[in-house]
Amino acid sequence: MVTGSIWGCHRSPERRENGFVENWHTTGNKVEITALAHNETVLILDETKRAGGTDKERAQVVLDISFNLAENVEKDRLTNVGSVRGWRFYFLSTSNYSLDQLADKGGIEIDDAERGRFVDIPNPSAGHGIYENLHKFPNGQKFTNSLKIRCRKYCGAVGEELVRRLVEERHRGPAELKEFLKHERGVYLKAIDGKAQAESLTPLKRASERSATVFAAGSLAIRYKIFPWDRDELLQAILSCQLDGLRSAKAKHLEIDASVSGLRRKLIAYFRDQRRQLLDLDQSKPRLGKHQFGSVPGYIARSKAKNGST
């Protein structure tokens, strides 16, 4: 809601409760209409658990919609009366599960193409999640309630002012504006590459490029005195988002590798312990129709001058 308040708030009372936020209770066709309505602002979809009735359906809907939104154009259908329409924005989502967890629960394979379009940003592992500072409120609930009230009351001014100043500077000196944004993107890309290399992390190029653009836009808003933040604080905040996602992914891969290695060790130990009971295929071949599967714990044979068991 805080992010969406930069650009506006729903007008109808039943939707105003969530500010500028939409939800995952939608379809591929419907979300395109929603995307067109949010063109040049931001699209925020709340709670992936509303995307489907089953784990598999939920995972498929989230993957399909996030992939389509990243393409920035609606599908070209036979029913279209004109050229396909498009949008430009970044979209955000909230979810109790990461993209990999959603895919695992739904039994769906994903690769870096999906991960680069729908980047996970986990909550900080220490402290109080996103609420590191309650700003003198007694608890997170009261802080949340206050933020929601303010997001509905004060909204839309920041985005409009940024666009106004951006257009004004573009008319006055487009070359200088482009050079500033290019420089700021370069600062972020250099910083993320250095941080990632120091921790043996491998950032996806698409994700780094998007984060670099976010930093450049934020730096511009700071230069316009729209944002009161310090530029280095902004850089560290965006870096922490991407780095936390990379660390989380690395930890999961290490956990999987450790699990596979552990299973392999158990399997080898099992065959070693059962070796005397294994059936030697070089000495006695199982007879078709007579041999029963499971009659021995395993088989051993000589293959390419090496002893092996299965």
CA 72 to chain centre: 17
Q: Is the pLDDT of residue 264 over 90?
A: no
**DSSP collapsed to 3 states, 69-133:** HHHCECCCCCCCCCCCCECCCEEEECCCCCHHHHHHHHCCCCCHHHHHHCCCCCCCCCCCCCCCC
* pLDDT for the residue numbered 305: 59
Q: How buried is residue 212: exposed, middle or buried, by Cβ count under 10 Å (0-12/13-18/19+)? A: buried
- In this predicted model, which residue has the larger pLDDT, 68 or 253? 68
Quick one: what percent of the chain has pLDDT higher than 90? Answer: 58
The Cα-based distances of 212 to 103, 215, 242 in angstroms read 27, 5, 11
Beta strand 22-23 with 299-303: parallel, antiparallel or unpaired? unpaired
- In this predicted model, which residue has the larger pLDDT, 206 or 75? 206
Calpha distance 236→239 (Å, rounded): 5
* pLDDT for the residue numbered 26: 84
Q: Tell me, what DSSP letter sits at residue 282?
A: T
Query: Whole-number mean pLDDT of the chain?
Result: 88
Q: Say if residues 67 and 18 touch (Cβ distance below 8 Å).
A: no
How many degrees, rounded to 5, is the angle at CA 260 between CA 259 and CA 265?
Answer: 100
- In this predicted model, which residue has the larger pLDDT, 123 or 119? 119
- In this predicted model, which residue has the larger pLDDT, 262 or 41? 41
Average pLDDT, stretch 164-175?
94
Structure-token match 């809907």, residue found: 61
Calpha distance 190→214 (Å, rounded): 15
Q: Say if residues 9 and 19 touch (Cβ distance below 8 Å).
A: yes
**Among candidates 197, 217, 201, 188, which has minimal Cα distance to 89?**
217
* pLDDT for the residue numbered 299: 82
* pLDDT for the residue numbered 74: 84
Query: Token pair of 219, please?
Result: 């730096």
Q: Give the model confidence (pLDDT) of 14-23 as tens digits.
A: 888 899 999 9
**Among candidates 143, 133, 128, 212, which has minimal Cα distance to 2?**
143
Q: Is the pLDDT of residue 308 over 60?
A: no
- In this predicted model, which residue has the larger pLDDT, 26 or 127? 26
Alpha helix segments (H runs only) across the chain: 2-5, 13-16, 28-37, 55-71, 99-106, 112-117, 140-153, 157-172, 174-198, 205-223, 231-273
Q: Give the model confidence (pLDDT) of 36-66 as tens digits.
A: 999 999 999 999 999 988 999 999 999 999 9
Side chain identity at residue 247, one-letter code: R
Q: Say if residues 259 and 215 touch (Cβ distance below 8 Å).
A: no
The CB density around residue 215, as the number of other CB atoms within 10 Å, is 24
* pLDDT for the residue numbered 199: 94
pTM of structure? 0.78
